[in-house]
Chain A
Amino acid sequence: MSYKNAADASSVAVVYAGILRGFSRMRRLPSLMIPSILMPVFFVIAFSGSFASIVELDGYETDKAVNWMTAWAVMQGAAFSGMGAGGLAATDLENGFFDRLRVAPIRPMAIIGGLVGYCVCRALIPITAVLIVAFGVLHAEMPGGVLGFVMVYLSGIGMAAVMGLFVLGIVFTFRTLKSLAIGQIFMFSAMFLSVGQAPIQAIDGWLHSVAAINPVTNVIRMCRQGFLGEVTWSMTQPGLIALAGMVVGTSIWARIRYKKVDI
């Protein structure tokens, strides 16, 4: 049997193989995943307890801090999972495995897709862990019902994809694991300069202006709406637009920076 002249590799198969590889690595090296589960779980517990009375201020629209903080912790967990794509790519670049992928006759977007697909799937783990703790231990409420949960997962995987693509662009530029620190700075800036911790009415000065235009604000609102009341299109639409815009923008960024490692 000859294996010459096989058909071109299917990009879907390559993306799927990339996702499986990421999960198989994670299973064998749990330290890759444990921090991104524990950190958001710790956030939701600590912030809900420490700021229990903060919801008495105007703008929180709930009487339980956990309802406010769960969405914030979900977004943090998802963003950290997104960083995993950069971590895997940087490790591959440093140990030479990325050359094996580059020298294969596949589309660069399939390589990027595999890495991002992995971090998107992996984001489901911390999101679910946060929800289990929030509802099982801290007695969070979801008046938005099933749609509210859908919004949580949608925003979470969207944010993981955005962060994954963004960090990949950085890693392709610098080609080292250390460059993840730069990605972290951008991630924290984007997350903290939003309505993650406090409603827009409670934010003053330039922070208010930045949070108002920060697209992450719309994604967090979309994620949080089910915890505060009914899920509405007026809250969902800006979040979806923000996510779509960020996914397109960071995809272009990652693809352009890929040229830095490709010829």
Chain B
Amino acid sequence: MENPIEAVDLSRAFGEIQAVDSINLSVSHGEVFGFLGPNGAGKSTAVRMLTTLLKPTSGSACVAGFDVVKKAPSVRKRIGVALQDAAIDPLMTGNELLRLQCVLHGLPKRSGEKRCKELLERVGLTLAGDRRVGAYSGGMRRRLDLALSLVHEPEVLFLDEPTTGLDPTSRMALWEEVRSLNQELGTTVFLTTQYLEEADQLAERIAIIDNGKIVREGSPISLKSAVGAPTLRIDVSEDSLEAARIVMTRFGEERPARRNRIAIGLDRGTPGITDVMKALEEDGLEVHHVELDEPSLDDVFADATGRRLEGGQA
């Protein structure tokens, strides 16, 4: 059986800006696929093409077995979409929006009513169902958006940055919901995110996108192990920075780090840290702070792009 999401050389340009540049994707049935990248990397543009909302400039994509351009109505029937800005009319109530969504997906009135009740219960909004969405918190809106995208039991669910702007508790509740959807119903989930932890927690496979191109793809474990050695980071005063860099790069290759910090991939692994500290001390360099991290997705991103995804710089 064909994969639910296949894209070949999919591209989209806006004037001279190449928002998505020849990406290839293949997502299997029942998989949670993470599409990770910074703001403006091309994640949402890719999702809009895959969900039939935007026409590709070149290349092709099939979702649920149908071409997104030539067979858009068939694709729309089989996908659920929760877009980046929860596409919700603030003047309507949660119940009204769900009922409208049932009509849009051809559910008969009686089963539609039943479905609305089930979904409100599922996302924990039963008590808020008759309140206007304008009075919902960000987390409630996202949960309602998720419920709306599930009305017709889609084969493929697209979640475009579903937890952006949410507090940690709401974020974790939404993760739990995505996990259970995937496990209970076997729904294929295509998730875009700029949060490393989210991709790490939820996705079985990840593609990292930067400047419209996919720069890495694989399971979080394989991507992290490909980066290799753990990262050793030290903070020193600004005037000792160059001297510390010379010492540290004897023990491994330099990695991107924020200001006044030096990071290296420690060639000898964790035991090598004592040698580094000894060498710095011998050169009279005062270390303010030391961190040793196993490779993270941020390291994978940095390795691929030369930049940090979370607040760092090369």
Contact = CB atoms under 8 A, between A and B. Distances in A.
Interface string B54-98: 110000000000000100111011010101011111111000100
A3 B87 contact: no
Given A1-B111, A1-B114, A3-B153, A105 B53 contact: no
Max chain A Cβ within 10 angstroms of own Cβ: one of B96, B103, B151: B103
B132 interface: yes
A9 B104 contact: yes
A101 B148 CA distance: 12
Interface size class of B (residues with CB under 8 A): 35 or more
B308 interface: no
A73 B171 CA distance: 54
Interface string A1-41: 11110111110011001000100110011000000000000
Max chain B Cβ within 10 angstroms of own Cβ: one of A2, A4, A103: A103
B85 to A, nearest CB: 5
25 contacts: A3-B105, A3-B115, A4-B152, A8-B106, A9-B105, A9-B106, A10-B106, A13-B103, A14-B103, A24-B91, A25-B92, A28-B132, A92-B89, A96-B85, A99-B83, A99-B87, A100-B83, A100-B87, A102-B52, A103-B79, A105-B73, A105-B76, A105-B105, A106-B104, A263-B52
Interface residues of A, number: 31
Given A9-B103, A99-B83, 20 more contacts: A1-B114, A3-B115, A6-B152, A8-B106, A9-B104, A17-B104, A25-B89, A25-B92, A96-B85, A96-B88, A98-B87, A100-B88, A101-B104, A103-B51, A103-B76, A105-B76, A105-B106, A263-B52, A263-B54, A263-B69
B89 A14 contact: no
A135 interface: no
Interface in A100-117: 100-106
A95 interface: yes
B100 interface: yes
Contact of B83 (A3, A6, A92, A96): A96
B107 interface: yes
A14 B87 CA distance: 18
Contacts of B87: 95-100
B53 A263 contact: yes
A10 to B, nearest CB: 7
B103 A2 contact: no
Interface in B129-153: 132, 148, 151-153
Nearest to A2: B153
Contact of B88 (A25, A97, A102): A97
Contacts of A14: 103-104
B112 to A, nearest CB: 9
B68 to A, nearest CB: 8
A21 B92 contact: yes
Contacts of B89: 21, 25, 92, 95, 97
Interface in B152-209: 152-153, 155
